[in-house]
Amino acid sequence: MIKRSLFLLYNCTLERLFPEVRFPLKHSSPFNLFVAVFLSANTTDRQVNKVMEGLDKKLKTPEDYVKVPLGDLERMIKSVGLYRQKAKRLKECAKIILERHNGKVPDKMEELLKLPGVGRKIANVVLQWLYGKQEGMIVDTHVARLSKLLGLSDSTTPEKVEKDLMQIVPKKHWRDFSMRLIYYGQNYCPARLHNHYNCPLTVELRKFFKRLNLAVVGFSFDKQKYGHKIFKDLLKEGFKVYPVNPKGGKFESVKVYKSLRELKNQVGKIELPIFVVKPEVSLKILEEVKRFGIASVWFQPGSADKKVIERAKELDLEYFNFCFMVMNGLW
């Protein structure tokens, strides 16, 4: 699987960049670990740690949070985002944990998700760092953004990104891979606009791509069209690219199949095809790719829509969105 290969590439680089994985939020008790994670939404770790220094001196247990007046708690956490809402929900969580769980933070995903304001991100952090349990992967804004940027997920919601990652990343790496992606986003590849070309992971990514035999299947190599630019850029970067049917014309499945067969005889093996075609043509080519015995497909910008991706799933073809390389300047 291409995405599993990418994970191995990224993980090796991230382990080199960040040898140690540590819990980044200060806390003096198990419940305050939960509190710190709860406060971290829409707030930097640095700011949470400043707040936790004060909380740790006065509040440590669910009983403490139940007893403290709401106004006082609001003042203590005022510097974090959405502090009023968080103060109210923290008191509600403390009460539930005290009454239903004997003052112990729940150690099961389903019980954590029943707490007010707790989603899968908070639940996963608590389970992983408080109990050493791997029931899912942490997906914060860094992980969601980088997963799409680096071609690991095309999903737009944290829940779907988590599901995509769990299918690629071995369970033993769930916690540390997510944490290292967060470190990477904070230290090398921030959300603000910047040139990704020199980011460490994209440097390794380009090296990886150049080791592949890429079969470009397409009909838009006209000099006035975008596909022609992609083709030229790939060649300029030193990629091994073998065009199939580059002259254009009406789609004919027999011609595509014949070209693929000739290509296989020429290069010995086709690892990945890139579609530089319209979505309606991609749907037809998918059938030929499956018939030809290729397990993975790459979609170039403009060539894939929801129907194409769904059809790729139906045919049990691994799909890989090539858009991220072009749109984010990774070469």
The catalytic residues are 121, 140
Handedness of CA 38, 39, 45, 50 (dihedral sign): negative
Alpha carbon distance 129, 40 (integer Å): 15
Identify the CA nearest to 111 among candidates 123, 99, 95. 123
CA–CA gap between residue 166 and residue 169 (Å, rounded): 5
CB atoms within 10 A of CB 167: 12
CA dist 92 and 62 (Å) reads: 10
Structure token digits, residue 182: 């967060």
CA distance 51 to 177: 27
Q: How far apart are CA 41 and CA 261, in angstroms?
A: 53
Neighbour-count burial of 176, counting CB atoms closer than 10 A to its CB (0-12 exposed, 13-18 middle, 19+ buried): middle
- The residue among 196, 219, 195, 198 whose CA lies nearest residue 300 is 219
Query: What CA–CA distance (Å, rounded) separates 86 from 116?
Result: 10
Question: What whole-number distance in Å separates Cα of residue 202 and Cα of residue 3?
Answer: 15
